[in-house]
């Protein structure tokens, strides 16, 4: 199967490579020509623009930073909509606002094109492993037809409802992840300040009710002072902006999400915006005047 893939960043590049490993033909586009060249060296074909790419395949995947970039690639000048043919499918795996997904899907529907919003969770390590979690919105029959394709990049692919539902699920995921990282940060800073080894506290509680995938992924990073991004603070801020925007649209107060957003904004001002979101711990370290180490 020939697949078009647009967006070869931290997540998109390994996802595209996993499609090639699964035996799919790939045609790719990215504004970063170096990463396009990297993909062509492992068997992909390059496209001149999203429009060009859309004219050469019936199935397209986008993995882009935010709503404006997806709208531009899908609907803008030289965008997918200008090259696409009736019966094609766009699988947008970016994390964007649910309303934006619905707007893009409506515009493409006029051209006879179906769309799935299929954001992912797991960060770069799971993208490389091919074990990301994918949450999908759109028509169930379109989901069913493309399930195996998405599973070539994933450990789980779950249908959650109509278009926009995938990104709603992703926003819920980002709330839980952000609050979990903040909770781990608070706990480890408390342990350190109280004179108890954060590592031993982590080992003691990880097997109980407090244990989580987030704790196992982020607590070691905090203690080892390794903040190279699996998922950057600036991207989590972007997602939390979409969370709070959506919460206002539907009338749901999110006091804890609002608070962790302010924490991330504070550490962004301290120059941590391109670090992993485990650097949330630095906010707590700063106000407690302590550093979490093993």
**What is the C-alpha separation between 284 and 23, in angstroms, rounded?**
47
- Residue 53 near residue 27 (C-beta atoms within 8 A): yes
- The answer on 180 and 133 residing in a single domain is no
Q: What is the dihedral of CA 211, 212, 214, 217, to 10 degrees?
A: 70
Instruction: Decide the pairing of beta strands 59-62 and 45-46.
Output: unpaired
- The answer on 16 and 87 residing in a single domain is yes
Residue 113: predicted pLDDT: 98
**What is the C-alpha separation between 62 and 50, in angstroms, rounded?**
10
- The answer on 235 and 194 residing in a single domain is yes
- The answer on 14 and 156 residing in a single domain is yes
- Count Cβ atoms within 10 A of the Cβ of residue 287 and give its class: 0-12 exposed, 13-18 middle, 19 or more buried: exposed
Residue 95: predicted pLDDT: 94
* DSSP reduced 3-state for 134: strand
- The answer on 141 and 24 residing in a single domain is yes
Residue 289: predicted pLDDT: 98
Where a domain ends, among 126, 147, 162?
Answer: 162
- The answer on 271 and 176 residing in a single domain is yes
Q: Which of 13, 17, 126, 170 is catalytic?
A: 170
Residue 239: predicted pLDDT: 94
111 belongs to a structural domain:
yes
Nearest-CA neighbor of 136 among 122, 152, 109, 115? Answer: 115
Q: CA separation (Å) from 176 to 24, 142, 172, 215, 261?
A: 34, 29, 6, 12, 12
The CATH number of the domain where 77 resides is what? 3.40.50.720
Q: Is 170 a catalytic residue?
A: yes
∠ CA 180-230-54, rounded to 5°: 115
- The answer on 173 and 136 residing in a single domain is no
Length of the chain: 294
Residue 230: predicted pLDDT: 82
Structural domain that includes position 225: 168-288
- The answer on 201 and 56 residing in a single domain is no
Enclosing H/E stretch for 79 = none
pLDDT in tens, the chain (294 residues): 799 999 999 999 999 999 999 999 999 999 999 999 999 999 999 999 999 999 999 999 999 999 999 999 999 999 999 999 999 999 999 999 999 999 999 999 999 999 999 999 988 889 999 999 999 999 999 999 999 999 999 999 999 999 999 999 999 999 999 999 999 999 999 999 999 999 999 999 999 999 999 999 999 999 999 999 888 999 999 999 999 999 999 999 999 999 999 999 999 999 999 999 999 999 999 999 999 999
Quick one: tokens of 193? 């300040």
Nearest-CA neighbor of 24 among 42, 50, 51? Answer: 42
- Residue 63 near residue 94 (C-beta atoms within 8 A): yes
Other beta carbons within 10 Å of 17: 22
- The answer on 192 and 137 residing in a single domain is no
Straight-line distance from the first to the last Cα atom of the chain, in angstroms, rounded to the nearest whole number:
49
Tally of structural domains, the chain: 2
Quick one: tokens of 165? 């539902």
In the numeric block, the tokens 């094609």 are attached to: 88
Residue 19: predicted pLDDT: 98
pTM of this structure: 0.91
The CATH number of the domain where 186 resides is what? 1.10.1040.10
294 belongs to a structural domain:
no
Where a domain ends, among 162, 184, 211?
Answer: 162
Other beta carbons within 10 Å of 72: 14
């Amino acid at each position: 199967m020939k697949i078009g893939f647009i967006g070869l960043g931290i997540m998109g590049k390994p996802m595209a490579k996993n499609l090639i490993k699964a035996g799919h033909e790939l045609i790719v586009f990215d504004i970063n020509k170096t990463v396009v060249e990297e993909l062509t060296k492992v068997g992909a074909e390059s496209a001149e623009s999203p429009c060009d790419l859309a004219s050469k395949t019936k199935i397209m995947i986008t993995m882009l930073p935010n709503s404006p970039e997806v709208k531009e690639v899908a609907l803008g000048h030289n965008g997918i909509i200008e090259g696409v043919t009736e019966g094609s499918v766009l699988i947008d795996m970016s994390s964007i606002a649910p309303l934006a997904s619905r707007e893009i899907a409506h515009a493409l529907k006029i051209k006879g094109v179906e769309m799935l919003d299929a954001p992912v969770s797991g960060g770069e390590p799971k993208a490389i492993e091919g074990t990301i979690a994918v949450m999908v919105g759109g028509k169930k029959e379109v989901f069913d037809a493309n399930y195996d394709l998405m599973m070539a990049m994933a450990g789980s692919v779950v249908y959650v409802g109509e278009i926009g539902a995938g990104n709603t699920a992703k926003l819920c995921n980002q709330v839980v992840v952000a609050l979990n990282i903040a909770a781990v940060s608070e706990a480890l800073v408390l342990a350190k300040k109280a004179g108890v080894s954060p590592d031993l506290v982590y080992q003691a509680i990880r097997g109980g009710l407090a244990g989580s995938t987030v704790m196992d992924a982020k607590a070691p990073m905090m203690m080892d002072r390794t903040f190279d991004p699996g998922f950057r603070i600036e991207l989590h801020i972007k997602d939390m902006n979409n969370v709070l925007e959506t919460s206002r649209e539907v009338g749901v107060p999110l006091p804890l999400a609002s608070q962790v957003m302010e924490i991330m904004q504070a550490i962004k001002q301290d120059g941590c915006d391109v670090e992993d979101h485990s650097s949330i711990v630095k906010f707590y370290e700063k106000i407690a005047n302590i550093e979490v180490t093993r």
